[in-house]
Amino acid sequence: MPTHLTAPMVRARKGSDHPLVMVTAYDAPTARVADGAEVDLILVGDSVAMVVLGYDDTLHVTVDDLVHHTAAVARARPRPMIVADLPWMSYHTGRADAVRNAARLIRAGAQAVKLEGGRKRVPVVEAIADAEIPVMGHLGLTPQSFHTMGGFKVQGKDLDAAKALVDDAHALAEAGCFAIVLEGIPDVVAHLITESIPVPTIGIGAGPHCDGQVLVFHDVLGFDDRTQPKFVRQYANLKVDAISALRAWAADVRSGAFPSDAETYHLTGDLAGALATA
Ligand code: KIV
């Protein structure tokens, strides 16, 4: 696997037989796991708000938070390309703010940034791309629009909404996005978008016809208690395993079985004796 897939390499995977695989990671150990699994891209998502920091939505994380988590991921030096989320209100206040905040994420170790929204984001996408920073788009169920959508709801379910999503995807691709995440939309709409735009689509709850798929690390590995959307496929139950491992350790501590002699540092015989009689 090459070190660091680049934005042009991701773009060149459009329509290829090798779907892009992206998973979120938020710190060095999760980045090392994603690297070990040889995924193509790591997303330092603003989902960190919900799966790591305990918030009910993604609106509570700031650029400082994303910089902190992106730097932790980057310190693991993972081979997958690192994409960092621009959080809510980091690009809604104008092009200069958007470029400045995108640059902070790049300096923290990301190779690209992602932002949410359609045609109305074209000016900021162009500004960030003009600053030589690769930008990934994100359409459909965009969690930063939680309040205006009236909750985490599947989008693009009627003809007008579906057409608007197709137009949004074209606008983002033309503005310079090198790939677009499609989240929580019907499969036919995702298929239509995927077939009609020149950059890869990466789906989450958007069916099988995208150029790639993304899931949240904690969802795939069963590290979370939250009710999962139907698009999540869980491949492990690490929360159950972790609880049972900690229970076993606690039982060993309480019974005196931990630590063993082999898990203990010793002084050499003479010093131990001298200390005992001192
Ligand atoms: O923050 C995130 O995890 C995301 C994915 C759901 C695409 O944006």
pLDDT in tens, 156-202: 999 999 999 999 999 999 999 999 999 999 999 999 999 999 999 99
Indicate the class that CATH gives domain 7-236: alpha beta
Residue nearest atom 1 of ligand 1, based on CA coordinates: 45
Interval 33-43 mean pLDDT: 98
Domain locations in the chain as residue ranges:
7-236, 241-277
Ligand 1 pocket check for 85: Cβ under 6 Å: yes
Strand locations in the chain, DSSP E?
20-24, 41-44, 81-85, 112-114, 135-140, 179-183, 201-204, 212-215
pLDDT of the residue at 278: 76
CA count, 13 A, side-chain hemisphere, 248:
6
Let me know: does 211 contact 194? Beta carbons within 8 Å: yes
Ligand 1 pocket check for 52: Cβ under 6 Å: no
Atom of ligand 1 nearest to the CA of 47: 1
Interval 31-44 mean pLDDT: 98
Residue nearest atom 8 of ligand 1, based on CA coordinates: 45
Interval 41-50 mean pLDDT: 98
Ligand 1 pocket check for 86: Cβ under 6 Å: no
pLDDT of the residue at 230: 93
| 140 CA → ligand 1 middle, Å | 12
pLDDT of the residue at 29: 98
Ligand 1 pocket check for 216: Cβ under 6 Å: yes
Percent of the chain residues past pLDDT 90, beyond the cut = 92
Residue nearest atom 5 of ligand 1, based on CA coordinates: 45
CA dist 217 and 31 (Å) reads: 10
CA dist 9 and 183 (Å) reads: 22
- Please say if the pLDDT value at position 206 is more than 90: yes
Active site residues: 183
What is this structure's pTM?
A: 0.95
- Please say if the pLDDT value at position 2 is more than 60: no
For residue 8, is the peptide bond before it cis, meaning its omega torsion is within 30 degrees of 0? no
Ligand 1 pocket check for 46: Cβ under 6 Å: yes
Ligand 1 pocket check for 214: Cβ under 6 Å: yes
- Please say if the pLDDT value at position 3 is more than 70: no
pLDDT of the residue at 226: 78
| 47 CA → ligand 1 middle, Å | 6
Calculated CA dihedral for residues 73, 78, 80, 86, nearest 10 degrees: 20
Interval 48-66 mean pLDDT: 97
pLDDT of the residue at 156: 96
- Please say if the pLDDT value at position 1 is more than 50: no
Mutate which of 73, 139, 181 to test ligand 1's pocket (most atoms within 8 Å of Cβ)? 181
Mean pLDDT rounded to a whole number for the chain: 96
Ligand 1 pocket check for 24: Cβ under 6 Å: yes
